Amino acid sequence: MAKIEIIFRDDNGTIINEGKTLEYNLGLGKEKFTDIEDAVEQFRIQCGKEITEFLLYQAQQKFIKEKKTIISN
């Protein structure tokens, strides 16, 4: 079975999603073309939501950190 793992890194190559590895099991068995197409489409839908959620969370945390820095000064 095919499995996909997504790791996020910052500009310096540091992993930023430690502890929250995104893993997707494509669940391929027969591996006919239509099976592969369906599995990829399901992966796209599922991971799209999770990736968007993760990136929005990271942006929010960065914004909060910058806001606290400005208020502290």
Q: What tens digit of pLDDT does each residue of 29-55 get?
A: 767 888 888 888 888 888 888 889 888
> Residue 60: what pLDDT?
93
Does position 73 have pLDDT exceeding 70, yes or no?
A: no
Provide the domain count of the chain: 1
pTM for this entry: 0.64
Strands 22-25 and 3-6: antiparallel
Domain that holds residue 47: 3-72
Neighbours of 14 (CB within 10 A): 9
Tell me the one-letter amino acid at 54: F
Does position 1 have pLDDT exceeding 90, yes or no?
A: no
